[in-house]
Amino acid sequence: MEADKAFHEEYKVKKKRQLLSYAAWMFVEEVMELVELKPLKNSILGIPRVNGRLPE
């Protein structure tokens, strides 16, 4: 599993409690890996300007 070390160290645990944002981020990363969506992580969905999405 890939993880940004700065994010990991700073936000994983504070006062011995796991932060919700970190847990949610790890959950999304794990699900994307399990269903093999990692290569599509930063892709544009749909056809730009046809179904309301703009290429940003």
Q: Residue 13 pairs with which residues in a beta bridge?
A: 18
Phi, psi of 27 (to 5 degrees): -60, -45
Position 11: which residue type?
Y
| pLDDT attached to residue 1 | 46
Pick the more confident residue, 24 or 41.
Answer: 24
Strands 13-14 and 17-18, by their bridges, are: antiparallel
Q: What is the pLDDT of residues 27-42, one digit of tens each?
A: 888 887 788 777 776 6
- Cα(26)–Cα(12) distance, integer angstroms: 10
| pLDDT attached to residue 2 | 53
Which residue ranges make up each domain of the chain?
5-37
Kindly compute the dihedral angle of the four CA atoms of residues 10, 14, 18, 23, in this order, to the nearest 10 degrees.
Answer: -30
Is a pLDDT exceeding 60 seen at residue 3? no
Q: What is the pLDDT of residues 12-21, one digit of tens each?
A: 666 666 667 7
